[in-house]
Amino acid sequence: LEPTIIRTTEVHTPPTGLSTMPAGCQLKPLRIGALEIGFPIVQAALSGYSDWPMRMLAREHGASYSLCEVMLDQFLVTLKSERLKNQHFLYNSPEEQPVAGQLMGAEPEQFSQGAKKLVEAGFAVIDINFGCPVKKVLGRCRGGFHLSQPDVALEIIRRTRDIVPSHIPVTVKMRRGLDDTQQSRDNFFKILDGGFRLGLDAATLHGRTVVQRYNGPSRWQFLTEVKREFPDKTILGSGDLFTAESCLRMIEETGIDGVTVARGCIGNPWIFEQARALSSGRPLPPPPTLQEQRRVLERHWNLCAQLYGEARTGTLMRKFGIKYSASHPRHLDVRPDFTRIRTREDWWSVLDTWYSDDAAGVYPPVAIHEVEGTSCNC
Ligand SMILES: Cc1cc2nc3c(=O)[nH]c(=O)nc-3n(C[C@H](O)[C@H](O)[C@H](O)COP(=O)(O)O)c2cc1C
């Protein structure tokens, strides 16, 4: 592996006169606790996606920080080292650091034991999931359910902060409430305020409620309110970040410290270098050409095979291929071919069919993400 790691700590100044970014906006380097992250547009936690290959590619394309897919405390506590099949969940490598391990669970004591496992596995930040809206998860009093029980949520934060060494930041991911009631809003602020008092180093806020799941837009205005309430704390935003411009715009409009790109970077690691270009005053780069896309498609397969073995890679890469196809000018024709992938030969055959010319690519249509979000899980 020869990753190109981009580290920056400079202040990014976007161009004046860009229609999507008001003149004079400055992106300050992101810091989480004692950790200097730098460029504040990072890769979100994405269950079923943000594994080591995806994080490596995000890193190589300019994301300075990323979050692993969520893991259950119960799973971590019972994970035996001989069960190689599941070890990939914990896999992280020095080239991609800093990476956060994210944890979900119901019971404070077990939660903190899970956090200990993530620390031992080498994650640089421990992130607590109080946002997942899946029915099964809520039914088991996990994820977004904690937004309805602030005392338990705070106990989870307290125990996690206690067990995680003080130099490792502890952060939380929240939706803006369970629903739109005043009680939900009060609970949200009780958890966040109490959490910061207990030593939380940052919070990532998704501007939808748990019951809203993915229906309707993410309420960015709520992020503005939260940042006003906690001006000295590190707040990251999430929700409807499908283009490089929208990432910069969320920071500018809300005053938050950084953003986590989620659906917008699946099969689209280029969004990070596009955001870097805009933030340093350069024009938006053109979409990657088909040859550039091919290089990433080949690398993604190879990283995946390195982690999981060739036999499992075909099934795992299908969903990524479908997402990558959105950057192809004939994506409606390319997409079905990725759904049939089983072997390395199948993958290379799709690349030979669709990615042999060096034609221009396209920016993924925003509508693709919006529709698919309705069936996702966190
Ligand atoms: C497929 C999928 C998996 C997700 N998995 C997680 C997860 O493991 N942990 C988490 O905190 N959020 C998870 N999320 C939520 C995202 O991180 C993000 O907050 C949400 O998608 C809103 O951002 P977007 O509208 O830009 O996609 C997931 C979202 C999707 C679509």
pLDDT (tens digit per residue) in 262-293: 999 999 999 999 999 999 999 999 999 999 99
Question: In 61-201, which residue ranges form alpha helices assigned H by DSSP?
Answer: 73-78, 108-120, 135-139, 150-163, 182-197
Q: Which of 75-84, 136-145, 153-162, 320-329 is the least confident region? A: 75-84
Examine the pLDDT at 82 and tell me if it is beyond 60: no
Report the candidate in 234, 245, 250, 299 with the shortest Cα–Cα distance to residue 274.
245
Examine the pLDDT at 372 and tell me if it is beyond 60: no
Question: What is the bridge-based pairing of β-strands 234-238 and 35-38?
Answer: unpaired
Report the candidate in 310, 318, 355 with the shortest Cα–Cα distance to residue 337.
318
- Ligand 1 atom 23, closest CA: 239
Question: How large is the average pLDDT for residues 202-208?
Answer: 97
- Ligand 1 atom 14, closest CA: 378
Question: How large is the average pLDDT for residues 27-49?
Answer: 97
* Each residue's pLDDT tens digit, 307-361: 999 999 999 999 999 999 999 999 999 999 999 999 999 999 999 999 999 999 9
Q: Which of 39-43, 137-141, 150-154, 342-346 is the least confident region? A: 137-141
What is residue 285's three-state secondary structure? coil
Report the candidate in 136, 74, 84 with the shortest Cα–Cα distance to residue 111.
74
Examine the pLDDT at 207 and tell me if it is beyond 80: yes
Q: Which amino acid is at 109?
A: E
Q: How far is the CA of 260 from the centre of ligand 1 (A)?
A: 9
CA angle 346, 352, 357 (to 5 degrees): 155
Q: How far is the CA of 138 from the centre of ligand 1 (A)?
A: 16
What whole-number distance in Å separates Cα of residue 214 and Cα of residue 200? 27
DSSP conformation class of 27: B
Q: How far is the CA of 244 from the centre of ligand 1 (A)?
A: 17
pLDDT at 9: 30
- Ligand 1 atom 29, closest CA: 378
Question: Which atom of ligand 1 sits closest to the CA of residue 173?
Answer: 11
Tell me if 48 CB under 6 Å of ligand 1: yes
78 confidence band (pLDDT: 50, 70, 90) = confident
Q: How far is the CA of 107 from the centre of ligand 1 (A)?
A: 23
Q: How far is the CA of 358 from the centre of ligand 1 (A)?
A: 33
What whole-number distance in Å separates Cα of residue 277 and Cα of residue 142? 39
**CA-based torsion, 54, 59, 63, 66: positive or negative:** positive
Burial of 87 (0-12, 13-18, 19+ CB in 10 A): middle
pTM for the predicted model, two decimal places: 0.91
As a whole-number percent, the residues of the chain with pLDDT over 90 amount to 83
Q: How far is the CA of 55 from the centre of ligand 1 (A)?
A: 14
Examine the pLDDT at 24 and tell me if it is beyond 80: no
What whole-number distance in Å separates Cα of residue 170 and Cα of residue 180? 27
pLDDT at 351: 98
Q: How far is the CA of 204 from the centre of ligand 1 (A)?
A: 11
Tell me if 336 CB under 6 Å of ligand 1: no
**Tokens standing for residue 87:** 């070890």
Q: Which amino acid is at 294?
A: R
Question: How large is the average pLDDT for residues 10-23?
Answer: 36
pLDDT at 85: 64
- Ligand 1 atom 10, closest CA: 45
**Are 110 and 156 in contact, with CB atoms under 8 Å apart?**
no
pLDDT at 17: 32
Residues belonging to the chain: 378
DSSP conformation class of 12: B
Examine the pLDDT at 19 and tell me if it is beyond 80: no
**What DSSP element (H or E) covers 280?**
none
Examine the pLDDT at 61 and tell me if it is beyond 80: yes
Examine the pLDDT at 6 and tell me if it is beyond 80: no
**Tokens standing for residue 280:** 């340093």
DSSP conformation class of 66: E
Placement of tokens 């759904």 in the chain: 339
Examine the pLDDT at 14 and tell me if it is beyond 80: no
Examine the pLDDT at 84 and tell me if it is beyond 80: no
Q: How far is the CA of 369 from the centre of ligand 1 (A)?
A: 12
* Residues in CB range of 246: below 8 A, 6 or more apart: 20, 240, 264
Examine the pLDDT at 13 and tell me if it is beyond 60: no
Tell me if 201 CB under 6 Å of ligand 1: no
Report the candidate in 242, 207, 208, 284 with the shortest Cα–Cα distance to residue 368.
242
**Are 270 and 3 in contact, with CB atoms under 8 Å apart?**
no
Examine the pLDDT at 298 and tell me if it is beyond 70: yes
pLDDT at 10: 30
Residue predicted with more confidence, 113 or 369: 113
Question: How large is the average pLDDT for residues 144-152?
Answer: 95
pLDDT at 294: 98
What whole-number distance in Å separates Cα of residue 55 and Cα of residue 343? 23
Question: How large is the average pLDDT for residues 140-163?
Answer: 95
Q: Which of 172, 259, 261, 263 to mutate to test the pocket of ligand 1 (most atoms within 8 A of CB)?
A: 263
**Tokens standing for residue 260:** 């986590």
pLDDT at 87: 80
pLDDT at 336: 97
**What DSSP element (H or E) covers 237?**
strand 234-238
